[in-house]
Amino acid sequence: MTSPLPELSPAQRTEVELVARGKQEKSRTLRELNLPETPEAAHALLLKLGLWSEARTPYADRLRAATHAVDLPVPDFPPEERLDLTHLPVFAIDDEGNRDPDDAVGIEELGGGLTRLWVHVADVAALVPPDSALDVEARARGATLYLPDQTIGMLPDALVEKAGLGLHETTPALSISLDLDADGNADAVDVALTTIRARRLTYSEAQARLEAGEEPFVTLARLARASRTLREGEGALTIDLPEVRVKADEAGAAVFPLPKPQMRQVVQECMTLAGWGAAIFADDNEIPLPFATQDYPTREVQGETLAAHWARRKTLARTRFQPSPGPHHGMGLDLYAQATSPMRRYLDLVVHQQLRAFLAGTEPMGSKVMASHIAQAQLNADGTRQAERLSRRYHTLRFIAAQPERVWEAVVVDRRGPQATVLVPDLAFDVSMSTPAPTGTALKVQFADVNLPNMTVRVRRVDE
């Protein structure tokens, strides 16, 4: 016989919710109900009593990630001299539904075997100078928080609307140019404040234009291939694992495998080149930046199977950010700085603030101050990224629980004694299970006993 569900007073509910959200450690209510005083137990009780719906996730609260929109005034762009590039075709290419277009690409034929690659980035630093109220708030957040049910910007939506590329007839930008030869070598790099006219495209639209042989997409693809070949020659690693988009609301959750058209890789390579170009420009001009560095992989992994890519990812050291340049071995680059997402990542914004100060003839931030900003922003961004990962996993489990009879294709990607890690590509979801199957084995599995508060699930093989 099951015991009746307890009724919580408003004060008791508040107390249990604080524990579930990681805001309080002790709970007299949980003790009196003979329940553990843990966030997971509190979450389970709230679900059981119907006080929280399954759509609610507590991870952003537990990790101290901001869950409210930034409500600060946004200034206008200051009047200043800019290079007019509105005559050049420029394309802001992103996923369908993207709401913060902060980068765009284009080319300019120079003759003599050289092609100028332009990577234009929203000139956020023009609106967010160092230590302004907007800058302090962005630093406290570290990054935009992308959850399956909502997006909480690092900066105000009004700033995105004002600075986003392709949202207006013309847009101010901070533009990075690389003059590339046919083999992908850079003859020159430069950074300039510009005005551009950008057209927005989805990856699928850009892919269709590439397949139709249209410019500048064909040339962009050629430059990207040459660049990738050069980086691979310097030891750059390729890691190709499944990616998905997780969407959720009160009605349920859904997981969509993310297609990987060639133009996605082309744009990513252009962004990598822009980060390399920005780092070279800063190093040549002695501008301190939060340079991104990475040690050598811990070991070499051969092969192109899912298990090989899984193992290869585990060999990568964590990217470090420091005020002086150093090699980024995973990318095969002698120096690098993330520079193409100043609306979404605080350290990208710092890169722009530093480059902008140099271009304006003012004193950039010193290395000691920057080191402090790097540490603070990275700590806050780490919490944001972890909250995103946990929330995606939670809602993926909701999606799994809604179809208990479904059989999933899986692959054994790792082993530790009797336990194996299996990866379900359609979900980009990994889970541990007992099986003697060796690494690389394809198998069919079913899930059962989903526990959302503890984020656990039982998996069994069904093709034996």
pLDDT tens per residue, range 353-373? 999 999 998 989 998 998 998
Structure tokens at 151: 């997006």
Phi, psi angles (nearest 5°) of residue 349: -60, -40
Which ranges of 183-294 would DSSP assign to H, the alpha helix?
Answer: 203-211, 217-233, 262-284
| pLDDT of amino acid 298 | 86
Residue 98 pLDDT more than 90? no
Listed in sequence order, the residues at least 6 apart from 265 whose beta carbon sits closer than 8 Å to its beta carbon are: 224, 228
Predicted local confidence at residue 95, as pLDDT: 87
List the structure tokens of 297.
């992989």
pTM of the shown model:
0.94
Residue among 168, 149, 142, 138 at smallest CA distance from 70: 138
Q: Which of 363, 341, 367 is nearest to 352 (CA)?
A: 341
Q: Are 242 and 428 in contact (CB under 8 A)?
A: yes
Distance of alpha carbon 130 from alpha carbon 290, whole angstroms: 14
Can you say how many angstroms the Cα of residue 412 is from the centroid of all Cα atoms in its chain?
26
The H or E element that residue 18 is part of is helix 10-20
pLDDT at residue 307 greater than cutoff 70: yes
What is the pLDDT confidence band of residue 1, given thresholds at 50, 70 and 90? very low
Residues 6+ apart with CB under 8 A from 87: none
Question: 304, exposed or middle or buried, with CB in 10 Å at 0-12, 13-18, 19+?
Answer: exposed
Place of tokens 């996730």: 57
Average pLDDT, the chain: 95
Share of the chain above pLDDT 90, in %: 91
Among candidate residues 122, 273, 276, 145, the one with its CA nearest the CA of residue 200: 122
What's the whole-number mean pLDDT along residues 80-109? 93
Decide if 154 contacts 70 (C-beta within 8 A).
yes
Tell me which H or E stretch contains 454.
none
- pLDDT classification of 432: cutoffs 50, 70, 90: very high
Q: How many CB atoms lie within 10 A of CB 216?
A: 22
The reply to whether omega before 216 is within 30° of 0 (cis) is yes
Domains of the chain: residue spans and CATH: 10-52 (1.10.10.10), 83-395 (no CATH), 403-461 (2.40.50.140)
CA 394 – CA 410 distance, rounded (Å): 19
Query: What's the rounded Cα separation, in Å, for the pair 140 and 56?
Result: 24
